[in-house]
Protein backbone atom coordinates (compact mmCIF):
# COMPACT_ATOMS: atom_id res chain seq x y z
CA UNK A 1 0.00 0.00 0.00
CA UNK A 2 1.35 3.43 -0.89
CA UNK A 3 1.88 6.06 1.74
CA UNK A 4 -0.74 8.86 1.31
CA UNK A 5 1.95 11.38 2.20
CA UNK A 6 3.83 10.47 -1.01
CA UNK A 7 1.83 13.07 -2.92
CA UNK A 8 3.49 15.73 -0.78
CA UNK A 9 6.99 14.51 -1.52
CA UNK A 10 9.18 15.68 -4.35
CA UNK A 11 11.06 13.27 -6.51
CA UNK A 12 14.73 14.08 -7.01
CA UNK A 13 15.45 13.15 -10.61
CA UNK A 14 19.00 12.37 -11.70
CA UNK A 15 20.78 15.13 -13.61
CA UNK A 16 19.09 18.47 -14.05
CA UNK A 17 20.15 21.88 -12.75
CA UNK A 18 20.27 22.87 -9.11
CA UNK A 19 17.31 25.03 -8.18
CA UNK A 20 19.35 28.02 -6.95
CA UNK A 21 21.30 28.18 -10.22
CA UNK A 22 18.06 27.79 -12.20
CA UNK A 23 16.45 30.74 -10.38
CA UNK A 24 19.60 32.82 -10.89
CA UNK A 25 19.61 32.12 -14.63
CA UNK A 26 15.92 33.01 -14.75
CA UNK A 27 16.83 36.45 -13.40
CA UNK A 28 14.92 36.05 -10.13
CA UNK A 29 17.89 36.77 -7.87
CA UNK A 30 21.43 35.67 -7.16
CA UNK A 31 22.19 32.04 -6.33
CA UNK A 32 22.83 32.97 -2.69
CA UNK A 33 19.55 34.88 -2.43
CA UNK A 34 17.74 31.92 -4.04
CA UNK A 35 19.00 29.71 -1.23
CA UNK A 36 17.59 32.21 1.28
CA UNK A 37 14.21 32.13 -0.48
CA UNK A 38 14.19 28.35 -0.12
CA UNK A 39 15.09 28.59 3.58
CA UNK A 40 12.17 30.99 4.05
CA UNK A 41 9.77 28.55 2.38
CA UNK A 42 8.97 30.88 -0.51
CA UNK A 43 9.81 28.47 -3.34
CA UNK A 44 7.42 25.77 -4.57
CA UNK A 45 8.01 22.94 -7.02
CA UNK A 46 4.87 21.37 -8.51
CA UNK A 47 2.82 22.87 -5.70
CA UNK A 48 5.06 21.54 -2.91
CA UNK A 49 7.13 23.82 -0.69
CA UNK A 50 10.81 23.24 -1.31
CA UNK A 51 12.94 22.71 1.79
CA UNK A 52 16.40 22.08 0.34
CA UNK A 53 18.61 23.84 -2.25
CA UNK A 54 19.90 20.40 -3.30
CA UNK A 55 16.85 19.89 -5.54
CA UNK A 56 17.57 19.68 -9.26
CA UNK A 57 15.02 21.02 -11.75
CA UNK A 58 13.66 18.66 -14.40
CA UNK A 59 12.12 19.86 -17.67
CA UNK A 60 8.54 19.33 -16.53
CA UNK A 61 8.74 20.99 -13.11
CA UNK A 62 6.53 23.99 -12.34
CA UNK A 63 8.49 26.46 -10.20
CA UNK A 64 6.85 29.24 -8.22
CA UNK A 65 8.38 31.95 -6.03
CA UNK A 66 5.97 33.71 -3.67
CA UNK A 67 3.16 32.06 -5.60
CA UNK A 68 4.22 33.50 -8.95
CA UNK A 69 5.26 31.12 -11.71
CA UNK A 70 8.89 31.35 -12.75
CA UNK A 71 9.34 31.41 -16.51
CA UNK A 72 12.03 29.23 -18.00
CA UNK A 73 15.36 31.07 -18.32
CA UNK A 74 15.62 32.98 -21.57
CA UNK A 75 18.69 33.34 -23.70
CA UNK A 76 21.32 35.26 -21.76
CA UNK A 77 21.36 38.96 -22.60
CA UNK A 78 23.44 41.89 -21.36
CA UNK A 79 22.60 45.60 -21.59
CA UNK A 80 24.84 48.63 -21.15
CA UNK A 81 23.31 51.41 -19.07
CA UNK A 82 24.69 54.86 -18.33
CA UNK A 83 23.90 55.44 -14.69
CA UNK A 84 23.55 59.12 -13.82
CA UNK A 85 24.40 60.54 -10.42
CA UNK A 86 21.50 60.43 -7.97
CA UNK A 87 20.21 56.89 -8.58
CA UNK A 88 20.64 53.95 -6.22
CA UNK A 89 21.69 50.61 -7.70
CA UNK A 90 19.18 48.44 -5.88
CA UNK A 91 15.80 46.95 -6.75
CA UNK A 92 14.06 48.55 -3.75
CA UNK A 93 15.53 51.27 -1.57
CA UNK A 94 14.31 51.35 2.06
CA UNK A 95 14.82 55.13 2.11
CA UNK A 96 12.60 55.61 -0.93
CA UNK A 97 15.30 57.11 -3.12
CA UNK A 98 15.01 56.73 -6.93
CA UNK A 99 16.67 53.59 -8.26
CA UNK A 100 18.27 52.53 -11.52
CA UNK A 101 15.45 50.07 -12.04
CA UNK A 102 12.80 52.80 -11.71
CA UNK A 103 14.27 54.48 -14.79
CA UNK A 104 14.52 51.47 -17.12
CA UNK A 105 12.21 51.11 -20.17
CA UNK A 106 8.93 49.40 -19.29
CA UNK A 107 9.39 46.74 -22.00
CA UNK A 108 12.70 45.54 -20.57
CA UNK A 109 12.52 42.06 -18.94
CA UNK A 110 13.47 41.62 -15.31
CA UNK A 111 17.18 42.35 -15.02
CA UNK A 112 19.79 42.57 -12.30
CA UNK A 113 22.92 44.67 -12.13
CA UNK A 114 26.46 43.37 -12.37
CA UNK A 115 27.88 44.97 -9.23
CA UNK A 116 26.87 48.43 -8.10
CA UNK A 117 27.67 52.08 -8.43
CA UNK A 118 26.86 54.22 -5.40
CA UNK A 119 24.35 57.05 -5.53
CA UNK A 120 27.00 59.73 -6.13
CA UNK A 121 28.75 57.81 -8.94
CA UNK A 122 27.94 57.78 -12.64
CA UNK A 123 28.94 55.82 -15.70
CA UNK A 124 28.74 52.37 -17.23
CA UNK A 125 26.63 49.76 -15.48
CA UNK A 126 26.00 46.30 -16.93
CA UNK A 127 22.54 44.76 -16.58
CA UNK A 128 21.66 41.16 -17.37
CA UNK A 129 18.72 38.76 -17.24
CA UNK A 130 21.05 35.98 -16.05
CA UNK A 131 21.84 36.04 -12.34
CA UNK A 132 24.44 33.31 -12.70
CA UNK A 133 26.37 35.38 -15.25
CA UNK A 134 26.22 38.40 -12.93
CA UNK A 135 27.66 36.30 -10.10
CA UNK A 136 30.53 35.09 -12.26
CA UNK A 137 31.40 38.60 -13.45
CA UNK A 138 31.37 39.96 -9.90
CA UNK A 139 33.78 37.39 -8.49
CA UNK A 140 37.22 38.90 -7.72
CA UNK A 141 38.79 35.77 -9.20
CA UNK A 142 37.37 36.75 -12.60
CA UNK A 143 39.91 39.59 -12.60
CA UNK A 144 38.00 42.09 -14.73
CA UNK A 145 39.63 45.52 -14.76
CA UNK A 146 37.20 48.30 -13.82
CA UNK A 147 38.35 51.78 -14.79
CA UNK A 148 37.17 54.97 -13.13
CA UNK A 149 37.69 58.62 -13.95
CA UNK A 150 38.09 60.48 -10.68
CA UNK A 151 38.01 64.21 -10.02
CA UNK A 152 39.86 64.67 -6.77
CA UNK A 153 40.26 67.65 -4.47
CA UNK A 154 43.53 67.61 -2.59
CA UNK A 155 47.20 67.06 -3.27
CA UNK A 156 47.74 63.88 -5.24
CA UNK A 157 51.51 63.64 -5.07
CA UNK A 158 53.74 60.99 -6.57
CA UNK A 159 54.09 59.59 -3.05
CA UNK A 160 50.31 59.24 -2.71
CA UNK A 161 50.07 57.51 -6.09
CA UNK A 162 52.87 55.11 -5.13
CA UNK A 163 51.07 54.27 -1.88
CA UNK A 164 47.80 53.56 -3.73
CA UNK A 165 49.58 51.39 -6.27
CA UNK A 166 50.99 49.17 -3.51
CA UNK A 167 47.69 48.85 -1.61
CA UNK A 168 46.77 50.22 1.82
CA UNK A 169 44.72 49.36 4.87
CA UNK A 170 41.82 51.59 5.98
CA UNK A 171 39.85 50.98 9.19
CA UNK A 172 41.06 47.40 9.37
CA UNK A 173 40.19 46.60 5.76
CA UNK A 174 42.97 45.77 3.34
CA UNK A 175 42.56 47.33 -0.11
CA UNK A 176 44.60 45.82 -2.91
CA UNK A 177 46.76 47.40 -5.57
CA UNK A 178 45.29 50.17 -7.72
CA UNK A 179 46.36 51.21 -11.19
CA UNK A 180 46.61 54.99 -10.74
CA UNK A 181 47.63 57.63 -13.26
CA UNK A 182 47.28 61.40 -13.22
CA UNK A 183 45.59 63.07 -16.19
CA UNK A 184 48.16 64.85 -18.34
CA UNK A 185 45.85 67.87 -18.51
CA UNK A 186 45.63 68.20 -14.73
CA UNK A 187 47.23 71.46 -13.70
CA UNK A 188 48.08 70.35 -10.17
CA UNK A 189 45.61 72.90 -8.77
CA UNK A 190 42.75 72.36 -6.35
CA UNK A 191 41.12 69.67 -8.49
CA UNK A 192 42.92 66.97 -10.41
CA UNK A 193 41.68 64.18 -12.67
CA UNK A 194 42.89 60.66 -12.08
CA UNK A 195 42.29 57.36 -13.84
CA UNK A 196 42.05 54.45 -11.42
CA UNK A 197 41.78 50.78 -12.31
CA UNK A 198 40.57 48.08 -9.89
CA UNK A 199 40.31 44.32 -10.22
CA UNK A 200 38.37 43.72 -7.03
CA UNK A 201 36.17 46.66 -6.09
CA UNK A 202 35.00 46.68 -2.47
CA UNK A 203 32.11 48.91 -1.40
CA UNK A 204 32.99 52.62 -1.91
CA UNK A 205 36.62 51.59 -2.28
CA UNK A 206 37.92 54.59 -4.21
CA UNK A 207 36.26 57.16 -1.93
CA UNK A 208 37.49 55.43 1.22
CA UNK A 209 41.04 54.88 0.03
CA UNK A 210 41.49 58.43 -1.27
CA UNK A 211 39.87 59.81 1.87
CA UNK A 212 42.50 57.98 3.90
CA UNK A 213 45.23 59.99 2.13
CA UNK A 214 43.34 63.30 2.60
CA UNK A 215 41.99 63.43 -0.95
CA UNK A 216 38.28 64.15 -1.48
CA UNK A 217 36.47 62.63 -4.46
CA UNK A 218 33.99 65.13 -5.88
CA UNK A 219 33.17 63.27 -9.10
CA UNK A 220 33.43 59.57 -9.92
CA UNK A 221 32.75 58.18 -13.40
For the chain, the 3-state helix, strand and coil shares in percent, each to the nearest 5, are 25, 30, 50
Alpha helices in 15-154 (DSSP H): 19-25, 31-39, 131-138
What pLDDT is attached to residue 186?
55
Outline where DSSP puts E strands in the chain: 17-18, 43-45, 48-49, 56-57, 63-65, 68-69, 78-83, 112-113, 123-128, 146-153, 168-170, 173-175, 179-182, 191-198, 216-220
What pLDDT is attached to residue 24?
84
Contact in structure between 212 and 168 (CB atoms under 8 Å): yes
In 10 A of CB 212, how many CB atoms? 15
In 10 A of CB 117, how many CB atoms? 22
What pLDDT is attached to residue 148?
94
What pLDDT is attached to residue 109?
85
In tens digits, what is the pLDDT along the chain, a chain of 221 residues? 434 444 456 666 566 889 998 998 888 887 888 999 999 999 999 999 999 999 999 888 999 999 999 988 888 899 999 999 999 998 888 999 999 999 999 888 888 899 889 999 999 999 998 888 888 888 877 778 889 999 998 778 888 889 888 888 898 889 888 999 988 665 556 788 999 998 877 888 999 999 998 999 999 99
pTM above 0.75? Answer: no
Catalytic residue among 3, 46, 107, 118: 118
Instruction: Say whether 118 is catalytic.
Output: yes
Q: What are phi and psi of 158, to 5 degrees?
A: -60, -35
Q: How many angstroms separate the CA atoms of 208 and 218, rounded?
A: 13
Amino acid sequence: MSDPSDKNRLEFPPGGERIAKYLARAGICSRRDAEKLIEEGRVQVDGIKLTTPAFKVASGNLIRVDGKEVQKPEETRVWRYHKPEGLVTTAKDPEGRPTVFDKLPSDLPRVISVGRLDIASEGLLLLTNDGELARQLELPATGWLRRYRVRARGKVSDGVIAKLKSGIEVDGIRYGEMNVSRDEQSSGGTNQWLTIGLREGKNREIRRVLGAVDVEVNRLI
